[in-house]
Amino acid sequence: MNLESLLRLNRTIRVIGFDDAPFIRGAGGNVSIAGVVCAGTRFEGMVWGQVQQDGFDATEVICKLLIGRKFLPQLHILLLDRIGFGGFNLGNLPELANNLQLPCVTVMRRQPDLAAVEEAMSRLPNFKERHKLLQQAGPIYNYSPFFFQVSGEEPDVIAGVLQRLTDCGKVPEALRLAHLIAAAVITGESSSSA
């Protein structure tokens, strides 16, 4: 059943939200990522992986955590906390949507300063490749209180889904929990800024 039907029929939407764990910029190595599965806003499970800091493996790692595993057949949508993990290891939104056969969405707390993002990315190797991934994610939509990019679904539908998946505030619960859990595992306590 597609997202529009799930919304219309008031059915439970199953989501996975990915966020990265705290890391020391410029230290290199791997950064942990947490993927939290929720039915609506209720926690149901999680996956855990690692991506290379400022690397190019975020899309591949997320696919490996889901394809052929137990959660993917249950899911209706995938959310990313912003497009970059471990700095500028950018997810390829269209490729994720195609490989997972799910609408894939990056969610941001505010409108990003794209000029500042591009300037920071330009200091890393493979700028053109990173810039292309940023452009492939598509336009940033603003449906208050959400800012997002989407591949595989209409923005109007996604805005309604994000409302349904958010308990309070501006962050869907799956992303809020991924943020809290990833921070707790790495630092010993959850951070306050979910």
Averaged over 64-92, what is the pLDDT? 97
Q: Does 28 or 93 have the greater pLDDT score?
A: 93
**Residue type present at position 56:** F
Helix H or strand E segment including 123: none
The conformation of residue 24, written as its DSSP 8-state character, comes to -
Q: What is the pLDDT of residue 139?
A: 96
Render pLDDT for 167-184 as a digit per residue (tens, 0 to 9).
Answer: 988 899 999 999 999 999
| Residue-wise pLDDT tens digits, 116-141 | 999 999 999 999 999 999 999 999 99
| Cα gap 78→93, rounded to integer Å | 10
The pLDDT tens digits of the residues spanning 138-152 come to 999 999 999 999 999
Q: What CA dihedral angle connects 47, 64, 21 and 78, to 10 degrees?
A: -70
Q: Which pLDDT does position 190 carry in this prediction?
A: 86
Tokens 């958010």 sit at which residue?
A: 166
Answer whether 117's CB lies under 8 Å from 83's CB.
no
Please, what is the average pLDDT of the chain? 95
Confidence of residue 193 (pLDDT cuts 50, 70, 90): low
Given this model, what pLDDT does residue 143 score?
95
CATH code of domain 3-183: 3.30.2170.10
Which residue ranges make up each domain of the chain? 3-183
> How confident is the model at residue 89, as a pLDDT?
97
